[in-house]
Each structure stands twice: as C-alpha cells, then as structure tokens.
C-alpha cells in the first residue's frame, strides 16, 4: 500500500509540474520564453534528481530509466514532458539550445515507441516532425 501511495504521489506531482509549465508557456506566448525554459529545466532536474545538463547527454534508455527510478512509469506522462520540450524548442531562437530540447524530446518519443505495445500515430508524427526540424 505504501508503494502505491508513493507512486500515486509521484504521478500527481509530475502532473502538477506539467500544468505549471503549460501555464507559464501560455502566459509567455508573446514574451520571453526564458522563464519557461528555466522552469522546465529546474522541474525536470528536481523530479529526476539529476542535473539538467547530465539529462541532456543521456542515451534514451537511460533517460527513461530515470523516470522509472522515480516511480513515473506512465508513458503518457513521460510523453507529456516530451511534448513540452518539443513545444519549447519551437520558441527558442538559439539553434544549439533548440537542438538540445528537440533531441531530448525525440529520445523520449523513440524510447517510448520501442517499449510500449500500443501503436501511436501521434507519436510517430512527432518523431517525424522533430527529425525534420533537426535536418
């Protein structure tokens, strides 16, 4: 029972973080995206208990393992974070920073596509879109 409570707590915490990031993105759609980027980096670092720079250099399997280690095993939640990374990247003017976010989102999408048994046209579409943006 304690393990289940912990997992539910982690999932709820992750959902709140996603909500905060989306709220910031909506509020900053015409302005500076730096607050959203910092919030995204900070929250992901907190959730996964790892420095953001280290997370950006992890292989896709290791990145997904980090989510699992923290009890976040719902692929839809993990893909929500990839969605945010993808959306943020579109607003970043610095090409190098944009590529970091796109590659991280791409890694998450590809890994979840490999592991899940459910075909997702939406996920495939996002993978193709990101690959196009990176080329």
Number of domains the chain contains: 1
CA–CA gap between residue 24 and residue 97 (Å, rounded): 19
Give the long-range contacts of residues 24-27, CB within 8 A, separation 24 or more.
25/84, 25/87, 25/88
Q: Are 80 and 124 in contact (CB under 8 A)?
A: no
Give the long-range contacts of residues 131-135, CB within 8 A, separation 24 or more.
131/106, 133/89, 133/102, 134/99, 134/102, 134/103, 134/106
Global confidence as pTM: 0.73
Write the pLDDT tens digit of every residue in 28-81: 554 456 777 777 788 788 888 888 888 888 888 888 888 888 888 888 878 888
| Higher per-residue pLDDT: 76 or 125 | 125
- Which structural domain range is residue 42 located in? 2-134
Is a pLDDT exceeding 60 seen at residue 97? yes
Give the other-Cβ count within 10 Å of 94's Cβ: 8
User: Considering the chain, what percentage of its residues have pLDDT values greater than 70?
Assistant: 76
């Amino acid at each position: 029972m304690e393990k289940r409570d912990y997992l539910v707590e982690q999932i709820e915490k992750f959902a709140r973080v996603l909500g905060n990031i989306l709220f910031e993105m909506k509020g900053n759609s015409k302005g500076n995206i730096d607050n959203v980027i910092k919030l995204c980096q900070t929250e992901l670092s907190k959730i996964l208990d790892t420095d953001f720079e280290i997370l950006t250099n992890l292989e896709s399997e290791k990145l997904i393992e980090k989510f699992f280690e923290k009890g976040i095993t719902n692929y839809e939640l993990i893909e929500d974070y990839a969605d945010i990374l993808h959306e943020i990247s579109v607003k970043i003017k610095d090409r190098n920073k944009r590529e970091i976010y796109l590659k991280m989102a791409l890694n998450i999408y590809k890994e979840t596509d490999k592991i899940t048994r459910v075909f997702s046209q939406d996920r495939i579409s996002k993978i193709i879109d990101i690959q196009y943006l990176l080329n």
